[in-house]
Amino acid sequence: MENENKTTEIQSEPQNAESRKYIIYVIIAFIVIAAAAGWWYFKNEEKKKAAAAAAAMVPPPVVSEMTVKRSDMPITMEYTGQTAGFKQAELRAQVGGIIKKKSYKEGMPVKAGQVMFVIDQAPYRAAVNRNYASLKQSEVQMNLMKTDYDRASALYKKNAVSKADFDTAESNFKASKSAVDAARAALRQSQIDLEWTTVRAPIAGLSGKENYSVGNLIEAGGLLTTIVQSDKVYVDFAIPADTYRKSTLLAEQGFLKTEEGGPYVELALGDGTKIDKKGKIDFQNQFVTPQTASINARAVFDNKGNSLYSGQFVRVYVKGYYVPNIIQVPLKAILQASEKSFVYKLSDENTTEKVEITILRTIDNTCLVGKGLEEGERIVLDGVGKVRPGEKVAIEGAK
């Protein structure tokens, strides 16, 4: 029995030694893992502290702000135009002949009724004299026929002549009257032709270059020169169809109003010189010209002093419209993304919030905002490229 117990003790001693070794290994592994975890935690905390310190050292982006307000926005529409004569008359010869005289200086103003050209009058005076003689001859013949008719009429009443003789006398008298009328008409026509040899200005205005000089033969209908009325001038311009449609839509929605006395038109020359005059739109097509996809319009200007010349290209500014009580935001404060428009709104703590807005129209560098902002709100004006949603910013000039 004692031998068996000794044998059992001898066998259990190696087993206990193995167990102690296993436990020691587990403890060592745990210590190593714990040490590694502590080291990782320590390093991570160090990184967080370093990042926080670095973040604390970087100041927030500096931006400028603006407070949103509502006000009336005047609208100016700009187009390209060309001047044209208020009245333009082609001076044409109504009779043919040799030009004997020119009575004006090319390019200078002329008055209505002023003599411009004189065509050789000799053949037309001869025609007047010839037709006058023919008229007198016809009148003598008519008087003779009238005497015969009166005699035949008296005898016919007494049954002294036949009905045929009476009818013949009556017919001869009526024919002689018609001959007188024809001769009188021929005389009047020859007198008119004679008058037309003196070519007069039909309107007052600026004279053009002569197309025929003295001594040239001109046919009836030939163009002698052109006269353009200069005290007033037309300005023709074209409104793009899309622009006209948008403006009409804004007007129908109540966003676009017309000032009292408007609209009116102002002009600038090609070099930028402003014309100190205001014009009125007196014509506008109600259909689109297919070749230009635009609507033709016209304004009329007083042009005393001839500051504008027919055929000039000008810049046309249509004014007298305004958008009432609208929020205006400079274009530089707006972000564009996926065909949408955004601004950064500022909280009381100067924290940014990205909000979507609806732009009704962009005029120069100003956007008219329909939705997304209210009066009194603050937005980032300059520096939107440095801002991120939800971050705090510093206001330029603020303490």
Please tell me the predicted confidence (pLDDT) of residue 12.
53
pLDDT, mean of residues 27-33? 74
* HSE-up (13 A, CA, CB side) for residue 232: 12
Helix, strand or coil, per DSSP, at residue 185: helix
Residue 386 lies in a domain: yes
Question: Do 187 and 246 reside in the same domain of the chain?
Answer: no
Question: Do 212 and 170 reside in the same domain of the chain?
Answer: yes
The residue segments making up the domain with residue 287 are 75-85+230-322
For the stretch 232-269, pLDDT in tens is 889 999 999 988 888 888 888 888 888 887 789 999 98
Q: Is the pLDDT of residue 228 over 70?
A: yes
Query: Residue 250 in contact with residue 258, Cβ under 8 Å?
Result: no
Question: Do 299 and 374 reside in the same domain of the chain?
Answer: no
Residue 15 lies in a domain: no
Question: Do 183 and 92 reside in the same domain of the chain?
Answer: yes
Element (H, E) at 199: strand 198-200
**pLDDT confidence of 294, banded at 50, 70, 90?**
very high
Domain boundary among 169, 194, 228: 228
Question: Do 224 and 235 reside in the same domain of the chain?
Answer: no
CA–CA–CA angle 166, 169, 171 (5° rounding): 110
The model carries a pTM of: 0.59
Question: Do 67 and 95 reside in the same domain of the chain?
Answer: no
Please tell me the predicted confidence (pLDDT) of residue 8.
47
Question: Do 97 and 220 reside in the same domain of the chain?
Answer: yes
What whole-number distance in Å separates Cα of residue 255 and Cα of residue 325?
Answer: 9
Question: Do 67 and 162 reside in the same domain of the chain?
Answer: no
pLDDT, mean of residues 286-309? 87
Residue 10 lies in a domain: no
Q: What size, in residues, is the chain?
A: 399
Q: From residue 94, how far is each of 27, 132, 187, 191 by CA, in Å? A: 129, 22, 17, 13
How many domains would you assign to the chain? 3
Which range among 92-96, 106-110, 177-181 shows the weakest confidence by mean pLDDT? 106-110
Domain boundary among 284, 306, 322: 322
Question: Do 361 and 236 reside in the same domain of the chain?
Answer: no
Give me the CATH number covering residue 195. Answer: 2.40.50.100
pLDDT, mean of residues 54-76? 81
Residue 265 lies in a domain: yes
Domain boundary among 322, 342, 357: 322
Strand runs labelled E in 42-149? 62-67, 70-85, 88-92, 97-102, 109-110, 115-119
At 148, which amino acid appears? D
What whole-number distance in Å separates Cα of residue 360 and Cα of residue 73?
Answer: 12
Question: In 3D, which of 186, 198, 197 has the Cα closest to residue 128?
Answer: 186
pLDDT, mean of residues 60-65? 87
Using the Cα atoms of residue 120, residue 125, residue 126 and residue 128 in order, give the sign of their dihedral. Answer: positive
Q: From residue 55, how far is each of 58, 60, 61, 305 by CA, in Å? A: 5, 9, 12, 71
pLDDT, mean of residues 184-211? 92
Residue 367 lies in a domain: yes
At 18, which amino acid appears? E
Please tell me the predicted confidence (pLDDT) of residue 315.
94
Give me the CATH number covering residue 249. Answer: 2.40.30.170
What whole-number distance in Å separates Cα of residue 327 and Cα of residue 376?
Answer: 10
Q: Is the pLDDT of residue 157 over 90?
A: no
Mean pLDDT of the chain: 86
Give me the CATH number covering residue 380. Answer: 2.40.420.20
List 12's β-bridge partners, or say none: none
Residue 206 lies in a domain: yes
Q: What's phi and psi for 172, nearest 5 deg?
A: -65, -40
Highest mean pLDDT (candidates 85-89, 129-133, 258-262, 271-275): 129-133
**pLDDT confidence of 197, banded at 50, 70, 90?**
very high
Residue 47 lies in a domain: no
- Provide the phi-psi class of 372: left if phi over 0, else alpha when psi is between -120 and 50, else beta: left
What whole-number distance in Å separates Cα of residue 358 and Cα of residue 326?
Answer: 12
Question: Do 224 and 346 reside in the same domain of the chain?
Answer: no
**In 10 A of CB 363, how many CB atoms?**
16
Which range among 48-52, 300-304, 391-395 shows the weakest confidence by mean pLDDT? 48-52
Please tell me the predicted confidence (pLDDT) of residue 24.
73
What whole-number distance in Å separates Cα of residue 283 and Cα of residue 337?
Answer: 41
